[in-house]
Structure 1
Amino acid sequence: MEWLHIVLRSLGAITMLFILTRILGKKQISQLTFFEYITGITLGELAGFISTDIENNYMHGVIALVVWVMVPLLVELATLKSKTLRQWFEGKGTILIEKGKVLEKNLKRERYTADELLEQLRAKSVFNMADVEFAVLEASGELSVLLKKENQPLTPKHLGIKVAPERETQAVIIDGNYMDEPLSTAGFSREWLDTELEKIGVIKDNVFIGQVDSYGQLYVDLYDDVLQLPENTQKPLLYATLKKCEADLTLYGLATQNEAAQAMYRHGAEQMQEVLKQVMPLLKR
């Protein structure tokens, strides 16, 4: 019955490894530092040892697992309060490019070749090293890159455009079923959702995924990929209507000879321009 013994030992090792890894936290499955790297390898080796080495004492392996979890845990708690310990155990970043210049000494110290540097830059969608202002090799081995100002992508802030804040998009239908909690979080009801589906001529059972964004816009992906959904024109229509109102007010002001009416229409047109400026981030997206 050795196979049953191995099965039971393996199940116990898996359970303990899962619990102990949960105690260590999410860092153990993300970008690892040197210390976390050797900890992860050793925990895996110990789990394999206590699963299959039936000739040795099972509890000895369990004690070794606990020790290899407690030591990193204590070290992590200590590094939270000490920058010196944090740098010693986790390492620190190394600057590889500064002010557009490659620091060859730092490359050599990290045993990085020019080809490896270029490969890491390409992984960041940077194919011309002349575009780089600053690059640092993090303790985790990840290369962080800052492009020169003229090579950075434009944002609405650069253009002086005010953008409305975003909230998390909620998945309100999955596999043809209502997701009541996300729907409630978005501030809508099933009745509202049914109305929106009816507008585009879709039944709930044909929806693979349905999402509502922060502006109350419903997007659906259907099981039936052949079915073409109509484009949502609510926002363009509202924007066009507001622009027409502004144009009409301006036109009325030009058409009348009454000075008081001209002032009234001009004031109304200015107010409409302000409204358009405020709602444009919501409607032009």
Structure 2
Amino acid sequence: MFDMRAQLASKFLSLNFFLLANEKNDDFTVPVSQIKKWMSDFYGWAQEMFKDRPYYAYGRNVTFAVEDGVFNKEKLKAVMEAVSEMGFSVFLKISLRSLSENLDFMMELSKQKCLGSLMVTIANKEVDALGDVEAIFARIKKMKVAVTLLGSMKDFFIAGAFSSPSLNGSDVCFFLQEPEACDKLNTLSKEMTPCQEKMVLCVNSEGLIFPCAGLMSSPRHSLGSVFDKDFFSTFRMEGDILEWAFVGPDLLPEGPVLSESGMPWPCRRHVAEVLTNG
């Protein structure tokens, strides 16, 4: 039978890599060579794990999140090309400001078919400094890739995203990072649902692997590291993580809430409790 571990592992066919340039800005803190090796191991593990159910391989994607656009372009291009050749869709998460500074490079990536989707974070504090935001939106449209804009309603209005001639009628998804209504509600209307449908392997800038982006601030919930040679043959889902995956977090009626995060409010409550309780 298809065991519980495989059922949960099927949620991990998508990956989030949080990349940070090293001090010399000639590579990432997890070197490109190591990322490519680990991705190759991951690809082999997924093929073996789901050889009898290949449909689990559909929709595989890897998201690379670059901090403030500080990165070695050739290194980023190399790792995106390698991952794309493995059959993964490649997403890139970047701020609107960083995108504006690297538009020619992004156009090159899209032309070479190694960029499948662009996730652009918008913060109103940087919009004024960008000048002609509509010109940036027009360049984004020419890339002919799926686009998701992430921000608050206020951010979208200040950037003119809803009234943009370039975005109007385009295949653009607006994702609210801070649902204001949920913050004002400030209560749990029902029990938390199991986390397994939302889980995705996340690799931080140090190479530690987590089953959820929210848990990256809690090192004890790491599943291992991309530097572990036997990660895919030894990692286990145990304790709290297994319970959260199949039952859901058991939150207190009242408690702290993590602020300034793109996670849904209930998840921010959960992460705040995890950090508070150690």
TM-score w.r.t. structure 1 length? Answer: 0.18
Q: Which has the larger radius of gyration?
A: 1
More helix by percentage: 1
Task: Using CA pairs under 8 Å that are at least 6 residues apart, name the structure with larger relative contact order, 1 or 2.
Answer: 2
